Amino acid sequence: QVRASARSVARMDGDVIIGALFSVHHQPSAERVADRKCGDVREQYGIQRVEAMFYTLDRINADQNLLPNITLGCEIRDSCWHSSVALEQSIEFIRDSLISIRDDKDGSKWCIDGTPSNQPPPTKKPIAGVIGPGSSSVAIQVQNLLQLFNIPQIAYSATSIDLSDKTLFKYFLRVVPSDTLQARAMLDIIKHYNWTYVSAVHTEGNYGESGMEAFKELAAEEGLCIAHSDKIYSNAGEKHFDRLLRKLRERLPKARVVLCFCEGMTVRGLLMAMRRRGVSGEFQLIGSDGWADRDEVVEGYEQEADGGITMKLQTEEVQSFNDYFLKLRLDTNTRNPWFAEFWQYRFQCRIPGHPQENHNYQKICTGNESLKDNYVQDSKMGFVINAIYAMAHGLHDMHKELCPDHVGLCEAMDPIDGSKLLDYLLKTSFTGVSGEEIYFDVNGDSPGRYDIMNLQYVEELGRYHYINVGSWHKGLLSISDYKLMTNRTEMVRSVCSEPCSKGQIKVIRKGEVSCCWICTTCKDNEYVQDEFTCRACDLGWWPDDELAECKPLPLKYLEWSSVESIIAVVFSCLGILVTLFVTFIFIQYRDTPVVKSSSRELCYIILAGIFLGYICPFTLIARPTVISCYLQRLLVGLSSAMCYSALATKTNRIARILAGSKKKICTRKPRFMSAWAQVVIAFILISLQLAVVVTLIVLEPPEPVKSYPSIREVYIICNTSNVGVVAPLGYNGLLIMSCTYYAFKTRNVPANFNEAKYIAFTMYTTCIIWLAFVPIYFGSNYKIITTSFSVSFSVTVALGCMFTPKMYIIIAKPERNVRSAFTTSDVVRMHVGDGKVAPCQSNSILNMFRRKKKNNNTTGSTNPNGKSVSWSESGARPQGRGSSVFHRLSVHVRRQAVGQSQTAVIRPLTNASQPPESEHDAGLNTAPNGSHPDDKDLYNLSEGHDGGPQHPTTHERGVPPSYSPPNLIDHSTDYPQGGPVDTLSSTVPDFDQFVFGTGNKSSPVAYKSSANQLPLSLQGEAFTEEGSEMEALNLIQGFLCESATQEEEEEEECVEEELAQSKLTLLTPPSPFRDSLQSGGSIPGSPGSDNNPPFTQNMNYTPKQSSFTL
């Protein structure tokens, strides 16, 4: 164990003594720590700093402006960079001070070297302050001792953060910045190169621990992750460094950057471990100012340290010191007790006979060796000199204030009060040796400036050299990537996870540090709020191209220029033109049979609905506004309601007429069959739809709103709810189903009344359209265009199916636009008399009511409707059973003056006992003049008049005695009884349907009646009036059936079977009341042309014929 007194001390006498602790030797090795035996001598951290103390004091003492007439001396001790050695040497400072201030007035004896003495030992002046030591951990230990005796301490390289705490280290000051700034500077370098995942190593002790703690705190704030953190002593053994290297390599290849907040010897130990493991180029080392630009750290291990980035306290090289130091000689430098030891170590020689002779060297030192060889100035030389100057300036300020105008020290400074000196030191401000400003803040720290060094191989020098590649000052980093990348192809990457791409966020895995993440892509409608959060945009908004914020989406609506809109508009325009044309034609030909027979009032309503239907696409396609929204809600439902309400009314009327034909005789006629009644019913149905629409408009006022069919689209539409759509369309659906139902029931009407078939086809097609519309509308986003086409197609079907046949007849076939094309024969011809029973299916009377279409050569008369009607009678008929007797019956339909009921009047117009007129082959000749005794009064009971019967016309021909079955005699008739004709009146609800037949296809023989042409025409309309023909038909039906029952049961069953079948297939039978009075010709194929067929009381009816046989 080395005693403190045995250690060398360098002294320089002066009026004020300043103590100094320099690491003249290396710290003790781990095996020799207990002995406190220091290592080899150090040039830069030791000898150069000792000589810097002498050099600086020489300059201060020579400066008459700084401490004039006061000489500064020093006492320099070796701290060996070790706390125990530094404390030991610091105690020597305290002991000398205590001896120097002892006042022994009682004559006590002193003990000098163990021998009592009456004389005090040579007195030593107390030290005013201490410079150093360099290590932070050593400085803390020394400060704990010095502050007990109020001795100020100024450090030149101790940068520990802890030393800034004035509550613990009141008397500590430093001319270097705190490690907080260095940690900040090192972190900025790491951030500059995007190294987010690094390993960290620090030296065991206050310097490394406090520095690393500051770095980790800053790294956590910046999101930098520490892959592995470890600490090690500078003098640790090889196995410890090998284990440390193994742990660092476990974090490869992600953590390739190793930050080392270490002292120089710790870095060297790590480089040596790399050499032993053959590791070179795997790591990017970043060192603190403990490494700086010291050659001794990397000497011999430059390859392992190649590319290392270090922090160096910014200071200029002191050239004047170089001049001083390089002139030192072994024989002349006697005030430095360690200089001979250093000389031997530097030149690897020994000085024979010298107390410090090193026998390990064989070479003899000549003393002429030059220090210029491989000379490198200490990187902190400027701070050492500035620390000494700071102490001198503090003493100068103190002297100037406490000893004004006093030469030398005054009593106030003898001895020097350390607490007062501390106050002056904190106020000191001067220009440093390199021109920088030196001052202390409240914590005793100086401003920080750092140079960034990079170890590179320099071709020009042929060796490795530290290159200044940047600087850090007051939080600003300036670094040259070009200089740093001189010998590199690419920069090292040290990340746990690669940065996420645009639109991605970091997801930290459980148990991992914050720098290890999984990149997750944000959803389409989300933007990156921060690196860990995706935030969804509100509806109607969408992330911008950089996915950094949301921007509003453009409003969309159906454009006029789109293909769908163009098709819909063109289609609607064509439909409007066609509708207007059809309406014009219908108005122009409103009094023709085609228009009148189709319920023209209802047709006008249908055309109006079709027109509105074609208008709908324009309101649907237009940009939604309040007006267009109102029109949409109104027209879509109303247009369809107008069409289908009128169609429902029409089909219902047809169905009721058809149903009436199936009822028994004398039933009440159907109600509300007039044209205006139909119009009123249609408007009631339309009003219901209008009420529904208005109610919904009141409950949900239409207005444009935004719709979001998808997160990427925003449409402006009218605010129609599902109820607003379903309710009007549901009502229209009921009308459509009603129309379809009635159209199906009336599908088998006669050919010349096949409008029901067109209605049926219209409704079937409409049902298909709307059945397709519903799923498309509610299941897709094309609601506007779907509604537009559905409405257009629906009204187009109605326009095409309902009006195309009529327009064809009116325009292309005007010869068919006559009444005869819409009615059957106007005559009911009956054979009354005895005869054999005809077979049920007999076709012998097929031509009785057949129309005369092409026989223009006959002598019979043609009525205005183009029908040839002939009333004829055979010659004398035998009376009695089996004889051939023909009775001609005329059935007239009229309105009763009272009760407004329809009646059918059957009048025999021939007398069986009267001989016939002259007979010719072609028929019977009519008498041109004169009156027949049996002329009958025929009344014009046309349905077009609501009044009573018109004046009678006289039929100028002989009439046989009338025959009227007893059960059909109407005693209430007011007609004259002058003739033998009995009158029969009975209500017949469905005449035309029952009697209509196809007729015989054979060409009958023309039969010419002898009667004069009747001047009066009894006209009737098939479906435009109130069913007069049907009432007459049922009257005859009852009469015929009852007559057949009297003759034979078998024939009755046959007739009833055929009647049942005919009612389902026939709607408009021949009418004997239309145009019959104006027709004087004979009907081809009438019984009058036969040779007295047998007469029978039985009535045989053939359902497929439009005639009766009595």
504-508 and 476-479 strand pairing: unpaired
Residue carrying structure tokens 């459980």 = 510
| 429 shares a domain with 346 | no
C-alpha count within 13 angstroms, C-beta hemisphere, residue 1038? 26
Residue where a domain terminates, one of 787, 816, 845: 816
| 787 shares a domain with 902 | no
| 722 shares a domain with 804 | yes
| 856 shares a domain with 719 | no
Beta strands of 34-185 (E only): which ranges?
Answer: 72-78, 110-112, 115-117, 127-131, 153-155, 172-174
Q: Quick one: 356 exposed, middle or buried, by C-beta within 10 A (0-12, 13-18, 19+)? A: middle
Q: Quick one: 212 exposed, middle or buried, by C-beta within 10 A (0-12, 13-18, 19+)? A: buried
Cβ neighbours for 789, distance < 8 A, ≥ 6 positions apart: 568, 571, 617
Q: Which of 100, 78, 81, 75 is nearest to 28 (CA)?
A: 81
| 923 shares a domain with 959 | yes
Identify the CATH number of the domain in which residue 539 sits. 2.10.50.30
Q: Quick check: is 486 in a domain?
A: no
Residue where a domain terminates, one of 552, 578, 612: 552
Which pLDDT does position 120 carry in this prediction?
A: 56
| 902 shares a domain with 803 | no
In Å, what is the CA distance from 947 to each residue of 276, 565, 941, 950? Answer: 136, 57, 9, 8
| 630 shares a domain with 534 | no
Q: What count of other Cβ atoms lies within 10 Å of the Cβ of residue 524?
A: 13
Radius of gyration of the chain (CA): 66
Residue carrying structure tokens 């008049």 = 945
| 613 shares a domain with 532 | no
Q: Quick check: is 183 in a domain?
A: no
* Averaged pLDDT, groups of 10, the chain, 1110 residues long: 70 93 88 81 93 96 92 94 90 75 49 58 78 91 93 92 91 92 93 91 89 91 89 90 93 91 92 91 91 90 92 90 93 92 92 86 89 88 95 94 87 89 94 90 89 91 91 90 77 86 86 82 90 89 89 87 89 93 90 82 89 90 88 85 86 76 59 81 89 88 85 84 80 85 73 65 81 76 81 87 86 81 46 40 37 39 39 40 38 38 39 40 38 38 36 40 42 40 37 38 36 35 37 38 41 44 42 39 39 40 35
d(CA 931, CA 954): 8
Q: Which of 141, 174, 138, 142 is nearest to 159 (CA)?
A: 174
Q: Quick check: is 638 in a domain?
A: yes
Q: Which helix (H) or strand (E) holds 411?
A: none
| 1104 shares a domain with 1055 | yes
Which pLDDT does position 823 carry in this prediction?
A: 55
Residue where a domain terminates, one of 400, 415, 439: 439
Backbone angles phi, psi at 364, to 5 degrees: -95, 130
- What's the structural domain count of the chain? 5
| 864 shares a domain with 744 | no
Q: Is the preceding omega at residue 253 within 30 degrees of 0, hence cis?
A: yes
Are 395 and 415 in contact by the 8 Å Cβ rule? The answer is no
Handedness of CA 929, 933, 938, 939 (dihedral sign): positive
Q: Quick check: is 196 in a domain?
A: no
| 1064 shares a domain with 939 | yes
| 384 shares a domain with 369 | no
- Residue-wise pLDDT tens digits, 158-185: 988 889 999 999 999 999 998 889 999 9
Q: What count of other Cβ atoms lies within 10 Å of the Cβ of residue 864?
A: 14
Q: Quick check: is 1033 in a domain?
A: yes
Q: Quick check: is 245 in a domain?
A: no
Classify 477 in phi/psi space as left (phi over 0), alpha (psi -120 to 50) or beta.
Answer: beta
Backbone angles phi, psi at 366, to 5 degrees: -95, -20
Which pLDDT does position 113 carry in this prediction?
A: 54
Q: Quick check: is 462 in a domain?
A: no
Its domain, for residue 571, covers: 564-816
Q: Quick check: is 927 in a domain?
A: yes
The whole-model pTM stands at 0.53
